[in-house]
Structure 1
């Protein structure tokens, strides 16, 4: 008879005993799991900090771009006139009158109809240009109704749109409008069948005369007009697009440098640097909570020092970054004063740019290398160097630290899995041993019962 390991014979809870024994023997594996959890948390923390430094790199690159410092803004003195600029548009201004805006040419037929299902009265329409020359013919299909004429015009290749306009109840007329505005799109329509008449009537009359938009510059003998088939003028000023919506007088469009672009980009750089510093603080704070998985990390403390130095140390002969609004706070963050930056940019744009974005290293104003006025990397270039050294995907300090923790985690996982195999074998051994014990106890119990029966059957003396 085979007994189970459940302790039915011995009365012991052998399953619990085995679990307790295995739990005690698994103490080293438990320690490995704790180390694995801490190692994975450290790798995640390094990657989190690395993400902040990658963002710092992007912000530093943006400040170093030429277009950040050559940005311009177009303004208009009239709300009905708007202006936009392309990157690198030169500064300047232009004053003009908006003589008129562009309109699309439109004509209406002389015939009237009681319904759109009435016969149009013509099977073809000739399309004429502004000079009266025939451009082509539109053939009316279907049943030749007014509605069919509308469809034929709309489907034609002449750039025209037609509609049946109800001018009064039960009274329709055919109106056709050029899709494009301006004088070049002026057209006329006629029924070629009427040409055979001795005195043909006008088939269509002008509703709106198509004209170009016109700007008039000046009022003297040298005054001149600028025309456009649309209400948008491109290239009147290099890199500038002007859009008009109604006649105006004495409108000035001015293109000037836009310091807000550089200031906003500088603020974004400072914000990115502060977020990187804050992330390091959170991860290394000795009194921090669960997120402080890198307490006492010397590599991160070194990064903090390099970021603060990059933002505060003098930039060659150009002096301190404080002159463009950069200062260090007592809490270890960077402060940016936009007003100071804007003023410095207005007073000396070249110096402000060198301080903020730097430039190619080389001789300074005296033209001689090795002197105190040599051009050195600016704040953005220095922060870019720090960020690249930390976050480069192959050689970055933070990248390598995270990968190192990944390697440790893989090794710990292998050890944990090896312990799984070892503990499983131990469980099997203990199970066999306790099963054997229960079996032996069961056999002894059977023998004891047999002996008791035999003794009880012996004859007793009277």
Structure 2
């Protein structure tokens, strides 16, 4: 039950304010707990902020370590009307051809013209056949009562691979055009029935004549897209080309450089995040100020970047550390190294796997241990800290969460305790006011009695 606080009409004291002030004193431990909860939550958020940066670093390192990264290719074409896209892992090579035709869609138009699209068109069943008329594909049932619009709707709903449209060829003059849904020779058709149709366009395949000698051969496609003529590539043509066209799939060192550069950006982002969250300079309010468990991660990342891989220095492929603990990356130097000695560049970044040595026997005494490269070392350091189940930062953040839940329970217990204390104080002050009121009444009565005696 809620009890109102006496306003001190008898005592003259502001008892409501007194209770509020007393409750502030009583709530001091809970206020301290709330401050501690806020600090705990801020610390957990800071751990997760660093964790997110390290997870991004792990992802970037994983990308660099993928074998297909080091076989990146790109497609080139000698003319703008032919494009070539190389998929991941596409083999290098080239192809020369002429584009003897491009794909087209078969389309027909009715010989009859109508003055209205909403009155009966007097069309009966339309049979759909192959282009040579030898094979029936199905029949569109009509009884002559359908309007031109209704005929078009029935064609579109026939599921025979056709699309119909009513076209206006003049003032109040309409025709029915029926086209194949797909381009290419196999989608071409002929129509039978009471209405005759003329071909507006003939469906044909795109053709590439590969080679320039008598042994040249033809490759066809129902669309203008050719898949796998060169392994792992997609060739798209847009017009006929009588002059020879050469398409090639070549190595793409710039793509490798871009992925390595993304790794460098992820490293610097992680280092910046750690520095910001652990800033230990005078006056710093960083949530993880001077936290060794976090600052040591920076040391691990810097060590991964500075140590030689085997006998080779990371500086050979453009990696250098600055005095303020950041990584610089010279893209041109890396690209040049990748072109001049791709094996060295890959070894420095991805390392070398373990082997059984010259004798090929496990444990033969000449086994060669794996040598982790820069990307693998960075990945290991980042993943050790940020792994979703075993990462040190994950554990630290989870620990803060547990502490926060415990503090919240204690705060909730204080809510109950303070509510009871406030209720007790309210009763005490109310009782005081009641007693004072009673005494005041007795005093007035006694004064009245004395006055009557005199």
The normalised TM-score by structure 1 is: 0.82
Distance 1:58 1:122, change over 3 A: closer
Q: 1:105-254 alignment to 2 at 5 Å?
A: 105-106=106-107, 111-113=111-113, 115=115, 123=124, 129=130, 131=132, 133=134, 135=136, 138=139, 141-143=142-144, 147=148, 159-161=161-163, 176-189=178-191, 207-248=200-241, 249-254=243-248
Q: 1:407 aligns with which of 393, 402, 407?
A: 402
User: Separation in 1 of the partners of 2:197 and 2:408?
Assistant: 88
Aligned to 2:372: 377
Residue 394 (structure 1) aligned to one of 372, 389, 409: 389
Deviation at 1:295, TM superposition (A): 0.9
Closer, same or farther in 2 for the Cα pair 1:159/1:296, shift >3 Å?
Answer: closer
1:352 aligns with 2:345: yes
The Cα shift of 1:132 comes to 5.5
**Structure index of larger Rg:** 1
2:315 corresponds to: 322
1: CA distance, partners of 2:159 / 2:324: 71
Give structure 1 stretches of 5+ with no counterpart: 194-202
CA–CA distance in 2 between the matches of 1:289 and 1:308? 27
- CA 288–394 in structure 1, closer or farther in 2 if over 3 Å, else same: farther
**2:355–2:367 Cα contact (<8 Å) kept:** no
Instruction: Assess if the C-alpha contact under 8 Å between 2:322 and 2:328 holds in 1.
Output: yes
2:28 equivalent to 1:39: no
Aligned residue runs from structure 1 range 324-343, under 5 A: 324-343=317-336
For residue 73 of structure 1, what is the aligned residue in structure 2? 74
Of residues 409-418 and 397-406 in structure 1, the stretch that sits farther from structure 2 once superposed is: 409-418
Output the aligned Cα RMSD: 3.7
CA distance in 2, matches of 1:61, 1:266: 11
Matches of 1:169 and 1:10 in 2, distance apart?
Answer: 101
After superposition, give the CA deviation of every residue in 1:206-249 in whole Å (9 maximum; x if it has no partner).
55444332222333333333233332222211122211111111
CA contact (8 A) 2:5 2:426 kept: no
Given that 2:152 and 2:164 are in contact with CA atoms closer than 8 Å, whether structure 1 keeps it comes out as yes
Aligned to 1:257: 251
Q: In structure 2, which of residues 296, 299, 304 is the aligned counterpart of residue 302 of structure 1?
A: 296
Aligned residues: 446
